[in-house]
Amino acid sequence: MKLFLLMVMMGHCVSLSAFAQESIELTEPTFVAPSDRLPVDFNINRANNNVAIEMHEGVLYLAWRSAPTHFASPNTKLFVMSSTDMGATWNSEKIIDLKTDIREPFFISIKGQLILQFFEAGDRPMQFKPKRMLRMVRKGPADWTELEAFGTPGEIPWELKVRNNLVYMTSYIGDHYSAGQSNIAVHFSVSTDGLNWVPVDPAHPVIYRGGVSEVGFEFTEEGKVFAVARNEDGDLSGFGSLVGTSEQWGKGEWKFPEVSNLNRYDSPRMFRHGKEIYLVARRDVGGPFGNRAWRHFPVNWKKWVNLVRYSFRPKRTALYKINQEKQEVEFLMDLPSAGDTAFPSIVQTDPDTFLIANYTSPLDEQKFTWIKGQLSKKGTGIYLMKLHFKSQASVSQ
């Protein structure tokens, strides 16, 4: 506990000048796991990550993965809790223990119903073996329906959001982390109830095929979609990331650059304030991820050398802005973070304020590489913080 109190104090020191440039205020992060405010029946492990939050009927819900390390384990559990006072106290909702790995939890609040979904994976630390997507619906306090499988076996949900009383979801399926050229299919789906899904554009259910997996997205006021796609596995465009667009709420043709940006943005989550679109994602300190000088090398060599080099560099969670005219990602600043970090979840609480949940290694371990943070006995913790956009009137005063 003392370690994470130190983390909070150190995290508050980092951001004021850079946020002032964007007219943004940031509160101190409040760590919820580990903390003495957890429900008494929550016996969490060292590595706490993969966090999701949602506001539903005035109550804050939080779910996260807890395991011995960042990597797959049969000892993984998913903890779910709720708060009627925005995190001052917490109530136990559910503990999910499938004796295998569990990742990517997401809440969906739509039409008076709260859904929690995630995907079940394997239990071997060095293998990425997605099995199926699972979900349950809240019936009452600490009372949920039985888990049910949905979607295509092996499909992985990435970002979900409710817009215009519809739920939109990006997901991917394919030979992620395999030898040779990857053939991952990215889907963009829509649902009226959060349970029954169809392609946004039935004529084009796959919006990208190649090395892209995680895809964050957000809409402009007019319905244009901006998507930040992580190109970790690489393809003919290179390695790194792509910023794609589509018109008509995703029903228009998707357009991605022919060449990947060399920077890689893991765990991309996007949100809009006014006309501006922002991204919260992992920043690769000492990057970039891709290297154009290696373009003639074998794809397997590039894939694994990139991954090893990436793993042995430090990481941060960062705030970015999308340059909509140039279709580019622009760095604003780092959020409190170190080592193994970045699986943000973002909820808007008023017109100018966003609640952000995230995980990080101890903040006094700024030199931790990603792999060291993933394996360290010091573990990782979950925190909440608020990001507030100041009005032009307050900025000028």
Let me know: does 254 contact 208? Beta carbons within 8 Å: yes
Separation of alpha carbons 348 and 356, rounded Å: 9
Separation of alpha carbons 49 and 374, rounded Å: 10
Separation of alpha carbons 381 and 220, rounded Å: 33
Whole-number percent of the chain with pLDDT over 90: 88
Whole-number percent of the chain with pLDDT over 70: 93
Separation of alpha carbons 201 and 213, rounded Å: 19
How far is Cα of residue 313 from the mean position of the Cα atoms in its chain? Answer: 20
Let me know: does 147 contact 95? Beta carbons within 8 Å: no
Residue 5 pLDDT greater than 60, yes or no: no
Taking residues 210-218, report their average pLDDT: 98
Token digits of residue 343: 């699986």
94 or 181, higher pLDDT: 94
Separation of alpha carbons 319 and 335, rounded Å: 7
Residue 298 pLDDT greater than 50, yes or no: yes
Let me know: does 341 contact 373? Beta carbons within 8 Å: yes
Separation of alpha carbons 384 and 104, rounded Å: 18
Query: What are the tens digits of pLDDT across the range 13-29?
Result: 333 434 444 599 999 99
Separation of alpha carbons 363 and 336, rounded Å: 7
E strand spans, 22-58: 24-26, 30-33, 47-56
pLDDT at residue number 126: 83
pLDDT at residue number 357: 99
Residue 206 CB burial class (10 angstroms; 0-12, 13-18, ≥19)? middle
Let me know: does 144 contact 93? Beta carbons within 8 Å: yes
Entry pTM: 0.93
Separation of alpha carbons 306 and 329, rounded Å: 21
pLDDT at residue number 1: 38
H/E segment holding residue 305: helix 299-311
135 DSSP 8-state letter: E
Q: Does domain 155-335 have CATH number 2.120.10.10?
A: yes
Query: What are the tens digits of pLDDT across the range 220-263?
Result: 999 999 999 999 999 999 999 999 999 999 998 999 999 999 99
Residue 396 pLDDT greater than 70, yes or no: no
pLDDT at residue number 304: 93
Task: Quickly list DSSP for 238-292.
Answer: EEEEEEEEESGGGTS--B--SS-BS---EEEEEEEETTEEEEEEEEETT--S--G
Residue 3 pLDDT greater than 50, yes or no: no
Residue 150 CB burial class (10 angstroms; 0-12, 13-18, ≥19)? middle
Query: What are the tens digits of pLDDT across the range 33-60?
Result: 999 999 999 999 999 999 999 999 999 9
Short-list 90, 76, 78, CA closest to 39: 90
Separation of alpha carbons 381 and 340, rounded Å: 10
Separation of alpha carbons 168 and 165, rounded Å: 10
Question: What's the one-letter identity of residue 397?
Answer: Q
pLDDT at residue number 22: 59
Separation of alpha carbons 180 and 164, rounded Å: 41
Least confidently predicted of 11-15, 26-30, 342-346: 11-15
Least confidently predicted of 1-5, 117-121, 203-207, 323-327: 1-5
Query: What are the tens digits of pLDDT across the range 310-341?
Result: 999 999 999 999 999 999 999 999 999 999 99
Q: Per-domain residue ranges for the chain?
A: 1-151+347-397, 155-335
**Number of residues written out for the chain:** 397
Q: State phi, psi for 216 to the nearest 5 degrees.
A: -90, 155
Query: What are the tens digits of pLDDT across the range 74-127?
Result: 999 999 999 999 999 999 999 999 999 999 999 999 999 999 999 999 999 988
pLDDT at residue number 9: 35
